């Protein structure tokens, strides 16, 4: 730029010809353009053909740009990383930190301590001590380490439990030791995973780490409120072994004991076996069916020695657990302890269960040999039957009785059934007390029985890389070995699995990023927005098999709930629905409950605590300043990697096109695509269905919806007027019904007349009908029959509905519920439990804007996108002044759109289209009110959530000039 500018100056002074100057001006312009944005013009300028020059825009955008590299993600001092190994001796809130690492991390504090204790005269001397590795430094380190916890983090951090605080314990070696129960939260395993350690420096950071981030304070999963620290693998195996019953006779069977301590003594003296069946006198909270009693009872129960030993480690509020515990059972037990005894007890109980689990997993001596895998004798017969069936199918195909499609479908069905039958045979032949079966039923292994039927039965059908099922099954099992061809077919599946996982992780990460971006400014800002609105939870609309009680729990009641039989009040407005209350409501037979919901909250910024309900990760009412938007985004994004990528072929022809499932479907819903894949036709009006074969096209059907109703117009006739028509007469529109001298009353519509003499009225009845036609291809499967009654907004064919259409036809609430139900279907079908409220937070944001159609007396222009609650407030104010309110239509925005339409230009520019957003903001000279989290991170302030939250930030609204009161209300960073 400078070169060309100087050259142009010189040429002008010399008075060069016009052509040269024009050319030079063009080159100068190009240089300036490239300086600002090198990627705009077709070809990027480069230095003598080597690399592209980096323009000012390139410095800002992309993952390596200023925004995402330096402003949103900062580097930290005092951190280290190392491989993790398991530390079974640790308490839940501890981690083992290698000495060499700790010394490096806590170096400044150690130096201060050495100077303070007069081991060194100054900092330089203290440094020298450390370099020489003198014994004094370890004493100083021990002292320092007790003061502050360290933060452990495993990448990728998918939800807030990916970073937790621990009290460090110094260990030899150079690997970090991690408590086995927190591995689920980090999604870590010990096959070479690495973790990073950070040291909180300021006093406030230490306080926060200790009060909020300590591992023992994060026992529940924010996505659904279930315990996340539940024992797995060996621990489950140990507990299962301890609590199971064995049919065989053992020494000490039938003995009676007065209390658990006696049992323990007898076991230590080797008088009883761990599976001996005994009688025991206990104080218990449970009856024989494991139902909880209103108070403790002293009973004599039949149990086993192992169960008595297991109950020793439980708090007395949950004794006596007299059943076999597998993985799910242990998880439920921990949840119950949390509900009854609170956080601290749960931490101890989890640690005790871990210890006893490891101990008895070892004592059980569970081991495997090839001989344990017994192949059922009926296997060969089953496979031969299948082969015979397949042969008949192929014969029919050769005779031309079946299409290739039908042949494949039938073969696949035959083999799937056979695989299941073989698996059942394997199950039947297994020794229920054998090692293999213990490992499978306890939940200690991944995959349970399916892996065993592959070992002893047959592997079954495999899918090829595009997801189609290969009709040639693998008939062998792993015990006998596979043939060469079978081996090749199974490599398909293995490779697809690996490729899928790699692709899925990136997609899920991107989805999380978009969700975080849309929801990051949703914070709990007020205690109560005092709305009377809510959503109805009905027993009938079971979203993907989730019970009503599960959907009700952790919310607040919006209208009092009455017992339908007795009429007594079960719950008042604003009562918190606990698991207990939810069970009571459903038990009383209540069909529907109106609850407060994030979707109906009336705050313009954020959500109020009462509409949100309980904070699932803490199990208590949500606090002011909680960043519930981020929690929602993480809860939805975190299991994203587990969702499948595949689009299933429903037997090819059946639905006309592939039905999207898994991650692509979730994305389709959140992005609110205008044309979802395999879109269904929807009834535009209510009425009766007529199905006609189309004349024009052979492959089309016409579906007509006819809607007709009888409408009556009533005309009041004054007493002295003369009626000009008789009952049952037909009149045309405009005919006279009654007259007095010159004045007449005329019919507005044609119809049939009825004269009411008593009331002096003439009634004209007429039919009003409307009809809509849809042309539907014959390949689509219809959901309606000829003559069905149908409501507007109901689907006519199979497939996904278009959310924009639902919004237009059936309104906002129907659209919200549809989006919610559809996303839940995908997650539920993959066994992922996520509470509805997280989806509600996101859906609220997608439907938060409206489009102005007629501005009325407002300052808006037609087509402006405006916040829904804001325009409602403006309209109410106008109506109070007797002015004309604005008319608007609801719009549905996808998450990318919605996050770019935020008020904050800093947040939007750091997300996508950096340059475009910044340029737009500069032209319109926008101010950023700094409401969300991202904006504050970018300019380096404390985020306005959690401990940085200030109540009443949004009271002084409407002042948007720089220098107005808003700027002072956000606390500056320390």
Kindly report the three-state secondary structure assignment for every residue of 106-151. Answer: CHHHHHHHHHHCCCCCCHHHHHHHHHCCCCHHHHHHHHHHCCCCEE
| Residue 629 to residue 522: CA distance in whole angstroms | 5
Average pLDDT over residues 967-972: 35
* Cβ–Cβ under 8 Å, residues 654 and 782: no
Predicted pLDDT of residue 738: 84
pLDDT at 786: 82
Q: Provide the number of structural domains found in the chain.
A: 7
Is 513 inside a domain boundary? no
Residue with tokens 């002044």: 881
What is the reported pTM?
0.81
Of residues 759 and 83, more confidently modeled: 83
Pairwise CA distance, residues 241 & 325, whole Å: 9
What is the chain's alpha carbon radius of gyration, rounded to the nearest angstrom?
36
One domain for residues 537 and 601: yes
Q: E strands, 778-831, where? A: 789-790
Return mean pLDDT, the chain. 85
679: which DSSP letter? B
Between CA 902 and CA 514 the distance in angstroms is 13
Measured distance CA(535)–CA(30) in Å, rounded: 58
CATH code of 436's domain: 1.10.132.30
pLDDT band at 501 (very low <50, low <70, confident <90, very high): confident
Note the pLDDT tens digit of each residue in 614-643. Answer: 999 988 899 999 999 999 999 999 888 777
pLDDT of residue 267: 94
- Regarding predicted confidence, which is higher, 386 or 430? 386
Taking the CA atoms of residue 632, residue 634, residue 638 and residue 641 in that order, the dihedral angle to the nearest 10 degrees is 100
Range of the domain at 40: 2-60
For the cut 70, the answer to whether the pLDDT of residue 721 exceeds it is yes
Assess whether 347 and 374 both reside in one domain. Answer: no
Whether 650 is in a domain gets the answer: no
190 in the same domain as 239: no
Residue 568 belongs to a domain: yes
First to last CA, the chain: 42
Q: Please give the C-alpha separations between residue 629 and each of 635, 946, 967, in angstroms, as whole numbers.
A: 10, 13, 23
| pLDDT at 51 (0 to 100) | 56
Residue 649, domain member (yes or no)? no
Q: Residue 124 domain-assigned?
A: yes
Q: Scanning the structure block, which residue is given the tokens 């006819």?
A: 706
Instruction: Specify whether 84 is located in the same domain as 56.
Output: no
When pLDDT is averaged across residues 838-865 and rounded to a whole number, the result is: 90
| The most confident of 32-36, 44-48, 719-723, by mean pLDDT | 719-723
Task: Label residue 138 by pLDDT band (50, 70, 90).
Answer: very high
User: How far apart are the C-alpha atoms of 134 and 126, rounded to whole Å?
Assistant: 10
Q: Are residues 322 and 443 in the same domain?
A: no
**pLDDT higher for 709 or 726?**
726
DSSP H or E segment with residue 689: strand 687-693
* Statement: residue 544 has pLDDT above 80: no
d(CA 547, CA 549): 5
Mean pLDDT of 378-406: 94
Cα-based distances in Å from 554 to 402, 447, 582, 589, 610: 55, 32, 9, 19, 11
Domain boundary, last residue among 626, 641, 668: 626
The pLDDT tens digits for 516-532 are: 989 888 999 999 998 99
What is the predicted pLDDT for the residue at 125?
92
Residue 944's pLDDT is 83
Task: Give the range among 239-248, 462-471, 552-561 with minimum mean pLDDT.
Answer: 462-471
Tell me the DSSP string of 730-756. Answer: EE-TT-EEEEETTEEEE-SS-EEEEEE
CATH classification of the domain holding 257: 1.10.274.100
Per-residue pLDDT tens digits for 157-205 = 888 999 999 999 999 999 999 999 999 999 999 999 999 999 999 999 9
- Cβ atoms of residues 415 and 424 within 8 Å: no
Confidence category of residue 961, pLDDT binned at 50, 70, 90: very low
Q: Are residues 718 and 589 in the same domain?
A: no
Asked if the structure places residue 637 within a domain, the reply is no
- The CA distance from 579 to 405, in Å, is 49
Within this chain, do residues 181 and 121 fall inside the same structural domain, yes or no? yes
3-state secondary structure of 949: coil
Give CA separation, 919 vs 34, 911, 925, 926, in Å. 16, 14, 10, 11
* Domain identity same for 716 and 744: yes
pLDDT at residue 936 tops 70: yes
Which pLDDT does position 650 carry in this prediction? 35
Percent of the chain with pLDDT over 70: 90
pLDDT tens across 650-673, in order? 333 333 334 567 788 888 899 988
In this prediction, residue 65 carries a pLDDT of 64
pLDDT, residue 645, reads 53
* Higher-scoring residue by pLDDT: 88, 726: 88
Please tell me the distance from the alpha carbon of residue 581 to that of residue 376, in angstroms, as a whole number: 49
pLDDT digits (tens, 9 = 90+) for 410-430: 999 999 999 999 999 999 988
Which pLDDT band, with edges at 50, 70 and 90, does 549 fall under?
confident
- Tell me the backbone φ, ψ of residue 637, rounded to 5 degrees: -80, -30
Has residue 40 been placed in a domain?
yes
Statement to judge: residues 964 and 856 lie in one domain: yes
Domain closes at, from 738, 765, 798? 798
**Residue 13 has which token pair?**
């002074």
- Residues 543, 620: one domain? yes
- Residue range 277-284: mean pLDDT, rounded: 93
Q: Specify whether 887 is located in the same domain as 792.
A: no
Confirm whether 915 is domain-assigned.
Answer: yes
Are residues 935 and 864 part of one domain?
Answer: yes
């Amino acid at each position: 730029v400078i070169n060309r500018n100087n050259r142009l100056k010189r040429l002008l002074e010399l008075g060069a010809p016009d052509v040269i100057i024009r050319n030079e001006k063009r080159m100068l312009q190009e240089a300036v353009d490239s300086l600002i944005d090198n990627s705009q013009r077709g070809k990027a300028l480069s230095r003598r053909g080597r690399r592209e020059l980096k323009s000012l825009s390139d410095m800002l955008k992309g993952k390596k740009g200023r925004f995402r590299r330096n402003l949103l993600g900062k580097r930290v001092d005092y951190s280290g990383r190392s491989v993790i190994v398991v530390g079974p001796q640790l308490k839940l809130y501890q981690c083992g930190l290698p000495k060499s690492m700790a010394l490096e991390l806590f170096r400044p504090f150690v130096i201060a301590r050495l100077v303070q204790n007069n081991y060194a005269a100054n900092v330089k001397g203290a440094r020298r001590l450390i370099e020489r590795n003198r014994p004094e430094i370890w004493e100083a380190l021990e002292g320092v380490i007790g003061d502050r916890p360290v933060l452990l983090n495993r990448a990728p951090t998918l939800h807030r439990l990916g970073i937790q605080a621990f009290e460090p314990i110094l260990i030899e070696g150079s690997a970090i030791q991690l408590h086995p129960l927190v591995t689920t939260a980090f999604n870590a395993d010990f096959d070479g995973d690495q973790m990073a350690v950070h040291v909180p420096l300021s006093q406030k950071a230490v306080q926060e780490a200790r009060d909020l981030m300590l591992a023992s304070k994060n026992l529940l999963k924010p996505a659904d409120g279930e315990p996340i620290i539940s024992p797995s693998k060996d621990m489950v195996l140990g507990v299962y072994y301890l609590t199971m019953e064995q049919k065989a006779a053992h020494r000490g069977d039938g003995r009676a004991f007065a209390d658990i301590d006696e049992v323990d003594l007898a076991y230590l003296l080797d008088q009883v076996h761990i599976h001996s069946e005994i009688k025991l006198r206990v104080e218990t909270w449970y009856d024989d069916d494991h139902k909880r009693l209103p108070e403790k009872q002293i009973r004599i129960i039949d149990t086993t020695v192992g169960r008595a030993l297991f109950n020793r480690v439980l708090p007395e509020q949950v004794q006596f657990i007299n059943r076999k515990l597998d993985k799910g059972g242990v998880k439920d037990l921990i949840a119950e302890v949390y509900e009854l005894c609170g956080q601290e007890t749960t931490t101890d109980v989890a640690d005790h269960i871990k210890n006893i689990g490891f101990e008895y997993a070892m004592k059980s001596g569970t081991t495997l040999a090839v001989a344990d895998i017994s192949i059922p004798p009926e296997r060969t017969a089953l496979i031969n039957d299948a082969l015979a069936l397949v042969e008949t199918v192929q014969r029919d195909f050769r005779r031309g009785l079946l299409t290739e499609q039908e042949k494949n479908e039938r073969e696949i069905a035959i083999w799937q059934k056979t695989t299941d039958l073989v698996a059942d045979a394997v199950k039947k032949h297994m020794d229920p007390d054998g090692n293999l079966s213990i490992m499978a039923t306890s939940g200690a292994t991944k995959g349970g029985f399916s892996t065993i039927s592959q070992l002893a039965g047959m592997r079954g059908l495999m899918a090829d890389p595009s997801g189609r099922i290969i009709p040639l099954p693998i008939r062998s099992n792993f015990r006998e070995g596979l043939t060469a061809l079978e081996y090749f077919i199974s490599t398909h599946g293995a490779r697809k699995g690996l490729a899928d996982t790699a692709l899925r992780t990136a997609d899920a990460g991107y989805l999380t990023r978009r969700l975080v971006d849309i929801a990051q400014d949703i914070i709990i800002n007020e205690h109560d927005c005092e709305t009377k609105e809510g959503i109805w939870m009905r027993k009938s609309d079971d979203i993907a098999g989730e019970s009503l009680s599960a959907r009700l729990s952790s919310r607040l009641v919006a209208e009092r709930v009455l017992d339908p039989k007795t009429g007594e009040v079960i719950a008042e407005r604003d009562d918190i629905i606990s698991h207990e209350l939810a069970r009571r409501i459903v038990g009383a037979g209540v069909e529907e409950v109106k609850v407060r919901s994030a979707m109906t909250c009336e705050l313009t910024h954020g959500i109020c605590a009462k509409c949100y309900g309980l904070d699932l990760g803490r199990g208590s009412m949500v606090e002011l300043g909680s960043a519930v938007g981020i929690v929602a985004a993480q809860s939805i994004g975190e299991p994203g990697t587990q969702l499948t990528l595949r689009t299933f072929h429903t037997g090819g022809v059946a639905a006309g096109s592939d039905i999207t499932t898994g991650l692509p479907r979730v994305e389709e819903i959140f992005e609110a695509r205008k044309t979802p894949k395999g879109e269904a036709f929807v009834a535009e009006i209510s009425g009766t269905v007529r199905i006609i074969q189309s004349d024009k096209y052979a492959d089309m059907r016409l579906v007509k919806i006819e809607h007709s109703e009888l409408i009556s117009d009533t005309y009041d006739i004054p007493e002295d007027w003369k009626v000009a028509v008789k009952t049952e007469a037909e009149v045309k529109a405009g005919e006279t019904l009654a007259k007095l001298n010159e004045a007449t009353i005329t019919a507005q519509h044609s119809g049939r007349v009825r004269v009411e003499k008593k009331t002096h009225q003439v009634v004209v009845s007429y039919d009003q009908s409307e009809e809509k036609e849809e042309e539907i291809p014959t390949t689509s499967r219809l959901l309606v029959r000829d003559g069905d009654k149908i409501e507007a907004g109901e689907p006519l064919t199979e497939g996904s509905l278009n959310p924009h259409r639902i919004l237009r036809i059936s309104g906002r609430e129907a659209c919200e519920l549809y989006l919610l139900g559809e996303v839940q279907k995908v997650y539920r079908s993959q066994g992922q439990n996520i509470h509805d409220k997280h989806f509600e937070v996101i859906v609220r944001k997608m439907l938060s804007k409206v489009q102005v159609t007629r501005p009325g007396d407002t300052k808006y222009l037609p087509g402006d996108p405006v916040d829904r609650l804001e325009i409602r407030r403006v309209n109410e104010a106008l109506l109070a002044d007797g002015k004309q309110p604005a008319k608007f239509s609801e719009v549905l925005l996808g998450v990318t759109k919605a996050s770019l339409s935020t008020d904050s230009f800093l947040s939007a520019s750091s997300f996508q289209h950096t340059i475009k957003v910044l340029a737009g903001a500069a032209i319109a000279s926008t101010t950023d009110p700094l409401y969300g989290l991202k904006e504050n991170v970018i300019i380096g302030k404390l985020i306005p959530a959690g401990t940085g939250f200030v109540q009443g930030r949004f009271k002084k609204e409407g002042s948007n000039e720089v220098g107005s009161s808003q700027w002072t209300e956000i606390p500056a960073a320390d």
